Amino acid sequence: MNSNAQMAPQGGMRGADPSPGEEVVLRAQGVEKTYPNGTHALDEVNLEVRRGEFVSLLGPSGCGKSTLLKMFAGIEQASSGEISAYAQGDESMENPSHGMAMVFQEATLMPWSRVAGNVRLPLDLAGVPKSVSTPRVNEALNLVGLEGFENVYPRELSGGMQMRASIARALAVQPKVFLMDEPFGALDEFTRNRLDADLLDLWRQRGFTVVFVTHSIYEAVFLSSRVVVMAARPGRIIADIPIEGPEVRDEKFRVSKPFIEYCRVLSDHLARANQGEC
């Protein structure tokens, strides 16, 4: 399979349209990262993410996908090259952290704080008054299906629900850009599929931009409007593949022909990049 056009599935593009006219919200230009111990984590990475896209960074461990995401988040510095994250809209007290929110590999909830307190944290840190933050916290909890769990400690939640709380915390800042670092990697497959579907719903409803790091080919194909395939040693981008799926992606999409075809293409790319390595 060499051509993507051949397997363009029925139904048009859904969600956002990553056409050239759309505004670029994240850009990496010639970004490199070398750690003090000599590890070459990223080599000459160029990537543009446009408004409304759902971009997955797919690759094996050590390909630098998390590092790239953290650079976009501003919590890691590039050794050379340039990272730009365009603040969309006005950044004010009510729109903290440049309209960006990040969800980590683990739920990273504060164990001493109840669910509502955890979700409220970014708003509290930005000095948003309670009268504004409370409805937003409730809205975020409703969006992830955690209504009624406001006063529960994180340890009383299952792994999937902790992750939902973590996503609610990110939603509470009403982000324009959502950075997700293998958020469902530690969950069982059923929970992961549920959360994938719910995340996709949220993305369609809210119209934010998502950059999603994963090492699951299936997850990347199911979620993304575009999959960026990366390889390790040194970390680099080896393919950039738009995914076209039906208007509503549901469980049927997971077993459809185009889905499996996309998985095969991505897996070929990964296999070629890893030749002679494992």
Partner 1 sequence: MEAIMNNERAMRFIAPTLFGVAMLLIWEVMIWVTQAPVYLVPPPSVIGSQLVQDWGLLTSSLLITLQITLTAFVCAVTIGVAVAFLFAQSRVLEVSLFPYAVVLQVTPIVAIAPLIIIWVDNAFVAMVICATLVALFPIISNTILGLRSVNPGLLALFRLNKATRWQTLIRLRVPSAAPYFFGGLRISSGLALIGAVVAEFVAGVGGTRAGLAYQILQSGYQINIPRLFAALLLVTLTGVALFVIMVTLSKLALGGWHESEISD
**Applying CB under 8 A, does 116 fall inside the site for partner 1?**
no
111 binds partner 1 (CB under 8 A): yes
Instruction: Choose, by CB under 8 A, the member of 67, 88, 97, 133 that binds partner 1.
Output: 97
Give the binding-site size for partner 1 (rule: CB under 8 A).
26
Rounded Cα gap, residues 92 and 161, in angstroms: 30
Q: Segment contacting partner 1 (CB under 8 A): 123-131, 134-142, 185-193, 196-204?
A: 123-131
Among 45, 52, 56, 104, binds partner 1 (CB under 8 A): 104
Q: Provide, rounded to whole angstroms, the least separation between the CB of residue 273 and partner 1.
A: 29
Report residue 35 as tokens: 């750690």
Name, in order, each residue with C-beta under 8 angstroms of 268's C-beta and a sequence gap of 6 or more. 1
- For the CB of residue 172, give the shortest distance to partner 1 in the complex, in Å: 11
Smaller CB separation from partner 1, 121 or 197: 121
Single residue of 52, 59, 64, 122 touching partner 1 by CB under 8 A: 122
CA distances from 90 to 6, 73, 95, 181, 249 (A): 42, 18, 7, 26, 33
Residue of 108, 142, 158, 267 interacting with partner 1 (CB under 8 A): 108
Contact code string over 226-245 relative to partner 1, x by CB under 8 A: --------------------
Q: Give the footprint of partner 1 on residues 46-75 (CB under 8 A).
A: 70, 73-75
Within 144-203, which residues bind partner 1 (CB under 8 A)? 153-155, 173
Q: How crowded is the C-beta side of 262, counted as CA atoms within 13 Å?
A: 31
Of residues 13 and 152, the one with the C-beta less far from partner 1: 152
Q: Which residue has the tokens 């809210």?
A: 206
Which listed range, 122-130, 142-150, 190-198, 217-225, lies at the site for partner 1 (CB under 8 A)?
122-130
CB 159 → partner 1: shortest distance, Å? 15
| Cis amide leading into 60 (omega within 30) | no
- Residue nearer to partner 1 on the CB measure, 46 or 108: 108
DSSP string, 152-216: --GGGS-HHHHHHHHHHHHHHT--SEEEEESTTTTS-HHHHHHHHHHHHHHHHHH--EEEEEES-
CA distances from 121 to 96, 117, 208 (A): 11, 6, 21
Q: With 0-12 CB in 10 A as exposed, 13-18 as middle and 19+ as buried, what is 90?
A: exposed
Distance CA 207, CA 201 (A): 10
- Choice from 96, 183, 235, 258 touching partner 1 (CB under 8 A): 96
Is the CB of 22 or the CB of 150 nearer to partner 1? 150
Q: Are 138 and 118 in contact (CB under 8 A)?
A: no
Cβ atoms < 10 Å from Cβ of 276 = 4
- Other beta carbons within 10 Å of 271: 10
Binding interface with partner 1 (CB under 8 A):
70, 73-75, 96-97, 100-102, 104-106, 108, 110-113, 121-122, 124-126, 153-155, 173
